[in-house]
Structure 1
Amino acid sequence: MEYFIPKAEIIFEEEIKKSRFITYLRHTEGLEQAKAFWAEIKQQHPQARHHCWACVAGSPNDSQQYGFSDDGEPSGTAGKPMLSYLIGSGLGEISAVVVRYYGGILLGTGGLVKAYGNGVQQALLQVEKFRKVLRQSYRLQCEYDQFNSLQHLIDEWDIVIEEQQFSDKIELTLAINPTQVETFQMLLTQRFAGKLALVKAV
C-alpha cells in the first residue's frame, strides 16, 4: 500500500545524428493528468516532429494506469521502450514525454528504440523520489485527559490527523496505513483499557 513517486520534474536533452531529443519526466496522478502533461509539452513544442509519451499513472503494479503513444514514429519504437523503463524504475504516478526535432537523418528502428529508451533512462537517473503511503480514514473519539497520550501514539506510528473536533469529547479523523491498523488498534486497547476503538470512516 505504499510506493515511491517522483518529487520534481526532470528534463534531459541530447542530440543523436542531428535529431534533438528532449525528455520530460513528471509526477502525474491518473491518466487524465498524464494526458494533460503530454498536451502541455506538445503546446510548448509546436514545431517538433514527434511528441511520444508513456506513463505509469497509478501504483507501479496497476497496468490499468499504463499508457503510451509512438506519435507517428514506427510502431513499437518509442512509447513501448519508454514505458518499459518507467515500469523498470518501480516508480508510480510518473509520465515521460519525449519531444523529437527531426534532423534529416533516419535512425532506423533500432536507433529509435535506443534513443527514446535512453532519454527516459537518463532522466530517471536524476529523479528524486519520495514515499507515498495509501492511507485509509478512521474515526476515533477520546476524552480530553486521554488526548496527550493518544497524540504520542499517533506520532510514533506516523499517522496523519486529517480532522479534529472538540466538543464534550474530542473526535479525530485519522489517516492510517492499512498494514498498521490492526496493530494500532491493539495498542489502543492495551493503553486505554479497551475504551478507545477505531471506526472506519465511510
Structure 2
Amino acid sequence: MERRLIPARETRSELRVLNSRFVASLAPTFSVEEARAFVARIRAEFPDASHHVPVYLIGHGRSVIAHCHDDGEPAGTAGRPALAVLQGSGLGDVTVVVTRYFGGTRLGTGGLVRAYGDAVRSVLEVTPRAMRVATHTLRLTLPYPLYERAQRLIKRHHGQVLDADFAAAVTLTARFVADDVPAFEAALQQLTCGQTTATVIATDPAAIVPLDE
C-alpha cells in the first residue's frame, strides 16, 4: 500500500541575499483550491513585498499536479528553480510561496536561480514530515496481567493507543497503519495464546500520521 510523504504542518524560513530578503512559507495542501488559498493568504500577509513566487505539488507520483510562476521575476529564474527543489524533496500535497523584498542590488539570472532554490531548501530543512496512508482503528479486550505487554506490542508495531477502558478486563483502542495490522494481529494471537482478537472498528483511507521529528 502506498505511503505518501507530506508536510506535517506549516513552516517558514528566511534568508538574505545581497540585501534582498527571501521569506519561504510552506503548507500542506490537498487540492489546487487549497494551494491557491494559501498563496492568497501569504500575499495578504506581506502586501508590500516585491514578489510572491508560488510553487505547488498536489498529489503524488504520476497523478501529481505541478505549478510554478515567476511573479514578475525574469522568466525561468524563480518559479522553475523553486519547483525543481520541491520536486526533489519527495513531498507531495505541498505548497511553497517565496516572498521577496528587493534590497536594491540586482542578483542577475544565476543569483536569482540560486536564491529561490535556496529559499525552498531552507524551509524544507525545518519542515517535519508525515505520511498520508490508510489506517485501521482496532479494539481489543484482554486480562489485566497482559496490559503492559500489550502496550509494548502496540508500540512495537507502530500503533498509537487512542483509549483504554479499565473494567472487568482492559479494552484498548489503537490506530495502526493498515499494512502493519496483519503482523500485529499475529503477534497478539501469540501473546494471548489465541484468546484475544482485535476488531477493526474504523478505517481511514487517507489518514495523516506524523513521523518522528
Task: Quickly name the TM-score band, shorter chain normalised.
Answer: 0.7 to 0.9
Q: Which residue of 2 aligns with 1:118?
A: 118
Q: Is the Cα–Cα contact under 8 Å of residues 25 and 97 in structure 1 kept in the other structure?
A: yes
Q: Is the Cα–Cα contact under 8 Å of residues 6 and 94 in structure 2 kept in the other structure?
A: no
Q: Which residue of 2 aligns with 1:40?
A: 41
Q: Which runs of 5+ in 2 are unaligned?
A: 204-213
2:13 partner letter: I
1:121 partner letter: R
**Shift of residue 6, structure 1, vs aligned partner:** 6.1
DSSP-derived class of the 2:126 partner: coil
Percent identity between the aligned chains? 30
Q: Is the Cα–Cα contact under 8 Å of residues 139 and 198 in structure 1 kept in the other structure?
A: yes
Q: Is the Cα–Cα contact under 8 Å of residues 15 and 21 in structure 1 kept in the other structure?
A: yes
1:95 partner letter: T
Instruction: Pick closer, same or farther for the CA change 1:64–1:58 going to 2, 3 Å.
Output: closer
Superimposed CA distance per residue, residues 179-200 of structure 1 (whole angstroms, 9 cap, x where no aligned partner) = 3222111111112222323333
Superimposed CA distance per residue, residues 141-177 of structure 1 (whole angstroms, 9 cap, x where no aligned partner) = 3134343432231133331022345566654332112
DSSP-derived class of the 1:25 partner: strand
Q: Which deviates the most, 127-136 or 177-186?
A: 127-136
Aligned Cα RMSD in Å?
3.5
Give the paired residue count: 198
Q: Is the Cα–Cα contact under 8 Å of residues 164 and 172 in structure 2 kept in the other structure?
A: yes
Superimposed CA distance per residue, residues 97-141 of structure 1 (whole angstroms, 9 cap, x where no aligned partner) = 1123356777665554333223223444x4253554746123223
What pairs with 1:17-96 in structure 2 (closer than 5 Å)? 20-31=20-31, 33-56=34-57, 61=61, 63-64=63-64, 66-92=66-92, 94-96=94-96
Q: Is the Cα–Cα contact under 8 Å of residues 10 and 26 in structure 1 kept in the other structure?
A: yes
**Shift of residue 33, structure 1, vs aligned partner:** 4.8
TM-score, length of structure 2 as denominator length: 0.69
Alpha-carbon distance in structure 1 between the residues aligned to 2:115 and 2:8: 22
Q: Which residue of 1 aligns with 2:206?
A: none
DSSP-derived class of the 2:197 partner: coil
DSSP-derived class of the 2:48 partner: coil
Q: Is the Cα–Cα contact under 8 Å of residues 10 and 123 in structure 1 kept in the other structure?
A: yes
Q: Which runs of 5+ in 1 are unaligned?
A: none
1:41 partner letter: I
Instruction: Pick closer, same or farther for the CA change 1:10–1:198 going to 2, 3 Å.
Output: same
The answer as to 2:159 corresponding to 1:159 is yes
Q: Is the Cα–Cα contact under 8 Å of residues 6 and 127 in structure 1 kept in the other structure?
A: no
Instruction: Pick closer, same or farther for the CA change 1:160–1:57 going to 2, 3 Å.
Output: farther
The answer as to 2:12 corresponding to 1:10 is yes
Q: Is the Cα–Cα contact under 8 Å of residues 6 and 130 in structure 1 kept in the other structure?
A: yes
